[in-house]
Amino acid sequence: MNLVFLGPPGAGKGTVAQKIADHYDIPHISTGDLFRGEIKAQSSLGKKVESILKSGELVPDDLTIDLVKNRLVKDDARNGFIMDGFPRTTAQADKLLEITSIDYVINFIIPDESVIERLSGRRTCKNCGNMHHIQFMPPLKEGICDVCKGELLTRDDDRPEAISNRLQVYKNQTQPLIAYFQDKNLIKDIDAEPAPETVLERVKQVLEA
């Protein structure tokens, strides 16, 4: 099953994608995670994109498309994948459909106020990338990741200035993809406001219908 998860930052795509990926035994491919991995490794790509991620702007299409192409040729993606955070522009979407087919695009719908509330309270583990939320998913011990006991930090792009920029970037560059995929009859809308377990069940229902 080849899936795309579309929606603004903070819509819960990553959390649900990981669970769906485990359920169907397909990889969860998050371009944001791949870029953060490159930055952590201080690779040449990582050095190029570090300031872009901090600001909440998009990495140029050619770099992003290369990253995805290199990921999709790996063995584990042969039976399907979930793309989380890609495509984010029409050029990326054109390219994706050129290199592979897509079964469904799950469109996570959530109002701006909820995005702001979710992102500003989000704390990410410095070690393993696991996410908590100070209000909705607090760690057992303040500032410490439940999974690996690593330190929980606020991502640079979860700071208020970057959040509003990311929302704007989403509206200008990514939201037009809803109509793009609607035209191709691939969109399935999901209300992303409820708790992640509820959203997960709804996504499963759509995929199993």
102 is an interface residue for ligand AMP by CB under 6 A:
no
| Per-residue interface string for the shown chain with ligand AMP, residues 42-81, x marking contact by CB under 6 A | ----------xx--xxxx----x-----------------
We find the least distance from the C-beta atom of residue 54 to ligand AMP, in angstroms, to be: 8
Annotated catalytic residue within 71, 95, 118, 122 = 122
CB of 3 to ligand AMP, least distance (A): 15
Minimum CB distance to ligand AMP smaller for 89 or for 139 = 89
Side chain identity, residue 40: K
Number of residues near ligand AMP (by CB under 6 A)? 18
If binding is defined by CB under 6 A, does position 31 make contact with ligand AMP?
A: yes
For residue 85, state whether it binds ligand AMP (rule: CB under 6 A). yes
Q: What is the dihedral of CA 96, 37, 132, 16, to 10 degrees?
A: 20
Sheet holding 81-84, edge to edge: 28-30, 81-84, 2-6, 104-109, 187-191
- Which of 8, 12, 32, 129 is the binder for ligand AMP (CB under 6 A)? 32
Does the annotation mark 123 as catalytic?
Answer: no
Residue 107 sits in the site that holds ligand AMP (CB under 6 A): no
Provide long-range contacts, Cβ within 8 A and 24+ apart, for 190-199: 190/106, 190/107, 190/108, 190/109, 191/109, 191/110, 192/7, 192/11, 192/12, 192/108, 192/109, 192/110, 193/109, 193/110, 193/111, 193/114, 195/136, 196/12, 196/15, 196/16, 196/19, 199/12, 199/16, 199/108
Establish if 157 lies at the interface with ligand AMP (CB under 6 A).
Answer: yes
Dihedral class, residue 8 (left if φ above 0, else alpha if ψ from -120 to 50, else beta): beta
- Does 123 help bind ligand AMP (rule: CB under 6 A)? no
Q: Which is nearer to ligand AMP, 140 or 167 (CB)?
A: 167
Q: Are 34 and 67 in contact (CB under 8 A)?
A: yes
* Least spacing, CB of residue 209 vs ligand AMP, in Å: 27
The Cα–Cα gap between 155 and 126 comes to: 9
Give the binding site for ligand AMP (CB under 6 A): 9, 31-32, 35, 52-53, 56-59, 64, 85-88, 92, 157, 166
Tell me the catalytic residues.
13, 88, 122, 155, 166
